[in-house]
Amino acid sequence: MEFGNLILKMTQSIVQKDGAGASECFAKDGVYHDVFYGSFSKPNIPKMVEDYFHRDASDFIWDIFDPISTGNIGYARYVFSYDSKLSDCEGKRAVFEGIARCELRDGLLLSYHEVADAFTGLSQLGFSGARLKKIAEKQSSSLLARDESLKHLKGT
């Protein structure tokens, strides 16, 4: 499947609480790496959609812009929003923007990674500074643990 159509099918399946439809967009050994919930292999993507996304939020909108692919790698810009179901911010709307970075194989997603500006949306929900700091520290640890960050840590 062409990348633009593939990522649109995946995102709209998630919006519509169709975890099986989202999972169909992934290769057998594909993985969805979510900025908040972590990584989910293809068999666990329906659980991610139904037990996490739709447990914690409703009224999703996920717009994809400028999808582009080399055949093995795909990128797309997105704007994503929802109404929170979390007890301390229930009913508040959050809007996020980000970039999806995808590895592709045989017309399917081998991996889906997000680089998102999570803090704009979380501040709209009223997350405390301490809660935002905890999320920032988790994202920082994840970045610094990657091989491509090693030379940056050394400064050479």
pLDDT in tens, 108-120: 999 999 998 888 9
Would you state the structure tokens that stand for residue 78, as one six-digit string?
Answer: 């997105």
Q: pTM here?
A: 0.89
33 and 61 share one domain: yes
Mean pLDDT confidence for 85-104: 95
Mean pLDDT confidence for 114-141: 90
pLDDT at 93: 97
52 and 91 share one domain: yes
Specify the number of domains making up the chain: 2
Examine the pLDDT at 36 and tell me if it is beyond 80: yes
43 and 71 share one domain: yes
Examine the pLDDT at 25 and tell me if it is beyond 80: yes
11 and 52 share one domain: yes
32 and 76 share one domain: yes
95 and 18 share one domain: yes
Residue 23: give its domain's CATH number: 3.10.450.50
142 and 77 share one domain: no
Examine the pLDDT at 123 and tell me if it is beyond 80: yes
Residues 79/95, Cβ–Cβ less than 8 Å: yes
What is the span of the domain harbouring residue 107?
3-125
Nearest Cα residue to 12 out of 1, 21, 24: 21
144 and 96 share one domain: no
108 and 140 share one domain: no
Examine the pLDDT at 106 and tell me if it is beyond 90: yes
Mean pLDDT confidence for 83-100: 95
Examine the pLDDT at 69 and tell me if it is beyond 80: yes
Average pLDDT, the chain: 94
pLDDT at 66: 98
Residues 121/37, Cβ–Cβ less than 8 Å: no
Examine the pLDDT at 156 and tell me if it is beyond 80: no
120 and 139 share one domain: no
